[in-house]
Structure 1
Amino acid sequence: MSTYAGWTYKCFVISFLLLMIVKVQAQDQAAVPKISVGFVMGFPTGKTAKTYVNGYGASTKVELNFTKHLNLTGSAGYMTFRYRDEVKKRLDYLGEPTSMNGVVPIKVGAKYYFEGIYYAALEIGAANTLGDGLNTSFAYGPTLGASIPISKHYSADLGLRYEGWKSSAGQVSFFGLRLALAISGAKK
């Protein structure tokens, strides 16, 4: 495992543990309309991990209140993955391009808030690869996370998800970690 891969794995584990132990007393994060903007890190799994070391990007998510504990969601983002060194060397040797094409995932779904700060979400949609060979994949992503209150209208959103992009060309799968700032206009 490269030093960079080891560092990203440690960040992933620490963030996951923080997500599991965060506790906020007497504050219930009920489902309310909000918008969030955040940073995303991707940690490839399965066959994807043989090609890519990690990924990074940004995303925006809009949540519309449906019931007391349920929000409907819509999200759009940008992700790119970094080739493993040996894959990049092989592509260079073959004269293939080694610049990374970005991917724009656009998804809709639902986010259920449990009592307290924790939530579970599921989104589906399309992941569109940018560049010369435009490719659209079916995207899906179940998420577990926490909405940590900062003030009356702001919260930090920390989510851990498994995401897959499936097309006729194959599948990309990864664990994603999203850290975002959410802004709510609703009174709590």
Structure 2
Amino acid sequence: MKTLKISALVLALAAFTFGAKAQTKSSSTPANGPRLSISADAGIPTGALSDKYNWNLGGSAQIDLPIASQLFVTVNAGYNNIFGKSITVGSTTVNVQDIHLLPAKAGLKFFPVNNFYVQGEAGAGFLLNKKDLGFDKSTAFIYAPQVGVLLPLNASSNLDLGVRYEGSTSYTNGGGNKINFVGLRAAYSFNL
């Protein structure tokens, strides 16, 4: 029992020491000016969207503006092409029209520990081919919670890797036709 108590005390002390070190290092997260990132984005549709679409590919640009020591306001705009499947209806094979989407979002990025962040964004998704898809609306509300990590490349640039869930409200008046996917963002990020 005594060995268990000593082990627990040593483990707690080590956790406290590493936690304090991580908190000290988190101040090295660049917060002295804006940061720009240019990314390649990819994703896999979820929900009803996955019935007709395989995956998406695109890119985005994001600016991070520091407002506190570990907290940034983000503004993000990009393009996503969501690739349609070939589906069989009866004896006929139909190619589903790709979705061309321009998302524009703003949000907050917070670094709870060194180089690891949580981010939440919301905005609008603009369809470029609404008529081809038979949708009623060309714009919908979108939201995107994300987690990620900054991997330092040098003193002023990082590799920004993030995983997000991006969801939307309906692009049709009767509901349905939401564009939801799990996405990956791999960006080159640099201080301005």
What band does the TM-score fall into relative to the shorter chain?
0.7 to 0.9
Question: Match for 1:45: what amino acid?
Answer: T
Q: C-alpha separation between the residues in 1 aligned to 2:113 and 2:43? A: 28
Question: Match for 2:98: what amino acid?
Answer: M
Which residue of structure 2 lines up, in the alignment, with residue 127 of structure 1? 125
Deviations 1:41-95 (A, max 9, x none): 0111111111111001000001111000100010000001111221xx54xx598
| Root mean square deviation of aligned Cα | 2.4
Question: Match for 2:44: what amino acid?
Answer: F
Q: Relative to structure 2, which stretch is displaced further, 126-135 or 76-85? A: 126-135
Q: C-alpha separation between the residues in 2 aligned to 1:51 and 1:136? A: 20
Q: Report the CA distance between 1:40 and its aligned residue.
A: 0.3
| Partner SS state of residue 102, structure 1 | strand
Which residue of structure 1 lines up, in the alignment, with residue 110 of structure 2? 112
Question: Match for 2:161: what amino acid?
Answer: L
Which residue of structure 1 lines up, in the alignment, with residue 81 of structure 2? 80
Q: Percent identity, aligned pairs only?
A: 29
The runs of 5 or more residues in structure 2 that have no matched partner are: 1-24, 132-136
| Partner SS state of residue 141, structure 2 | strand
The runs of 5 or more residues in structure 1 that have no matched partner are: 1-25
Q: Report the CA distance between 1:168 and its aligned residue.
A: 4.8
Q: C-alpha separation between the residues in 2 aligned to 1:101 and 1:49? A: 12
- Contact 1:30-1:115 within 8 A present in 2 as well: no
Residue from 101, 104, 118 that aligns with 1:103? 101
Task: Quickly say closer, same or farther: Cα 1:168–1:44, change in 2 above 3 A.
Answer: closer
Under a length normalisation based on structure 1, what TM-score does the superposition of the two structures give?
A: 0.76
Alignment of 1:20-169 (within 5 A): 28-31=28-31, 32-86=33-87, 89-90=88-89, 93=92, 98-133=96-131, 135-169=138-172
Q: Relative to structure 2, which stretch is displaced further, 97-106 or 41-50? A: 97-106
Q: Relative to structure 2, which stretch is displaced further, 110-119 or 68-77? A: 110-119
Under a length normalisation based on structure 2, what TM-score does the superposition of the two structures give?
A: 0.74
Q: C-alpha separation between the residues in 1 aligned to 2:146 and 2:130? A: 31
Q: Report the CA distance between 1:132 and its aligned residue.
A: 5.0
Deviations 1:8-59 (A, max 9, x none): xxxxxxxxxxxxxxxxxx6742445200000000111111111111001000
How many residues are paired up? 158
